[in-house]
C-alpha cells in the first residue's frame, strides 16, 4: 500500500492521516514463519513543518508464536513507534534511508510495516520469562509437572569427580 504525499511536499496540506491494515500470513522473521491474529494496523500521520515532511506512526499487531522452550502456542502484541523525516528519494541513498524516502511522492507503507515488525520482534520467544521449558530427557512440560529426570542429571565435572572417588 502506497500513500501519496505530494500535497504535503508542495504545501497544499499540512497533515495527512494514514491508516492501513494488512493481513500477514507466514511472515518470515529471523527464519521463523509467523502469522498474525488480526490484520496488522499502521496508524499515524504525515505532517509538514518548516518545509520538511515527517512521519509519526504506530504499527501494531498480535503475533501467533510458539514458545521456544515449551513449544506452547501463545499470542504476543508487537508494537513499533515510528518518528522519521520523509525525504524525496534519489539514487545515492543507502537502504535504510530508502524506507522513508519517496519516489514520485509515494510512501511505501507496506515496506515500513514489514520493517517495523522485524524491528519490534521479541528477542526471546518465550511464553513467560520464567517458562521452565520441556525436560530434555523425557520431554515433560516442566511448567505443568516436575519429572524425575532432574535427580539423575549431574554436572559432568562432578560426574568425573564421582568416578575418581569410587575408584579409591
Ligand atoms: Zn514456554
Ligand atoms: Zn524428565
Ligand lying nearest the CA atom of residue 73:
1
Separation between Cα atoms, residue 110 and residue 21, nearest integer Å: 9
pLDDT score recorded for residue 7 = 97
* Cα gap 3→10, rounded to integer Å: 15
Does this model's pTM top 0.85? My answer is no
User: What integer pLDDT is reported at residue 16 of this predicted model?
Assistant: 97
Q: How far is the CA of 108 from the centre of ligand 1 (A)?
A: 36
Rounded to whole angstroms, the Cα distance separating 36 from 121 reads 12
In angstroms, how far is CA 106 from the centroid of its own chain? Answer: 25
* Ligand 2 centroid from CA 158, angstroms: 20
Q: What is the pLDDT of residues 26-61, one digit of tens each?
A: 888 888 889 999 999 999 999 999 999 999 999 999
- Which ligand places an atom closest to the C-alpha of 138? 2
Q: If you measure from the C-alpha of residue 143 to the centroid of ligand 2, how many angstroms do you get, rounded to a whole number?
A: 12
**Residue 93 pLDDT greater than 90, yes or no:** no
The answer to whether residue 153 scores a pLDDT higher than 60 is no
Q: How far is the CA of 148 from the centre of ligand 2 (A)?
A: 6
Label residue 81 by pLDDT band (50, 70, 90). very high
Q: 108-142 b/e with 16+ CB inside 10 Å = b?
A: bbeebbbbbbeebbeeebbbeeebebbbeeeeebb
Across all residues in the chain, what is the average pLDDT? 88
Distance CA(22)–CA(38), nearest Å, equals 9
Distance CA 83, CA 47 (A): 11
CA distance 64 to 36: 6
Q: Are 25 and 10 in contact (CB under 8 A)?
A: no
Return residues with CB closer than 5 A to ligand 2 (ion): 135, 137-138, 140, 147, 149
> What is the 13 CA–ligand 2 centroid distance (Å)?
65
Q: Residue 155: helix, strand or coil by DSSP? A: coil
User: CA 114 → CA 24, 80, 96, 110, 137, distances in Å?
Assistant: 9, 11, 13, 6, 39
- Write down the pLDDT at residue 97: 67
Q: How far is the CA of 27 from the centre of ligand 2 (A)?
A: 34
Ligand nearest to the CA of 139: 2
Q: What angle do CA 143, 145, 151 make, to 5 degrees?
A: 105
- 34 CA from centroid of ligand 1 (Å): 17
Give the per-residue pLDDT at 163: 67
Q: Output the CA 79–ligand 1 centroid distance in Å.
A: 21
Least confident span in 3-17, 30-44, 60-74, 78-92: 78-92
Amino acid at each position: 500500500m502506497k500513500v501519496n504525499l505530494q500535497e504535503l511536499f508542495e504545501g497544499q496540506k499540512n497533515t495527512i492521516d494514514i491508516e492501513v491494515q494488512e493481513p500477514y500470513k507466514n511472515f518470515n522473521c529471523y527464519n521463523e514463519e509467523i502469522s498474525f491474529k488480526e490484520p496488522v494496523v499502521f496508524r499515524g500521520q504525515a505532517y509538514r513543518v518548516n518545509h520538511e515532511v515527517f512521519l509519526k506512526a504506530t504499527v501494531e499487531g498480535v503475533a501467533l508464536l510458539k514458545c521456544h522452550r515449551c513449544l506452547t502456542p501463545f499470542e504476543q502484541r508487537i508494537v513499533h513507534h515510528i518518528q522519521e523525516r520523509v525525504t524525496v528519494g534519489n539514487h545515492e541513498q543507502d537502504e535504510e534511508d530508502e524506507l522513508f524516502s519517496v519516489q514520485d511522492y509515494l510512501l511505501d507503507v507496506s515496506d515500513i510495516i514489514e520493517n517495523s515488525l522485524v524491528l519490534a520482534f521479541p528477542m526471546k520467544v518465550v511464553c513467560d520469562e520464567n517458562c521452565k521449558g520441556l525436560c530434555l530427557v523425557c520431554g515433560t512440560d516442566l511448567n505443568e509437572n516436575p519429572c524425575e529426570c532432574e535427580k539423575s542429571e549431574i554436572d559432568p565435572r562432578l560426574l568425573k569427580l564421582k568416578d575418581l572417588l569410587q575408584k579409591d
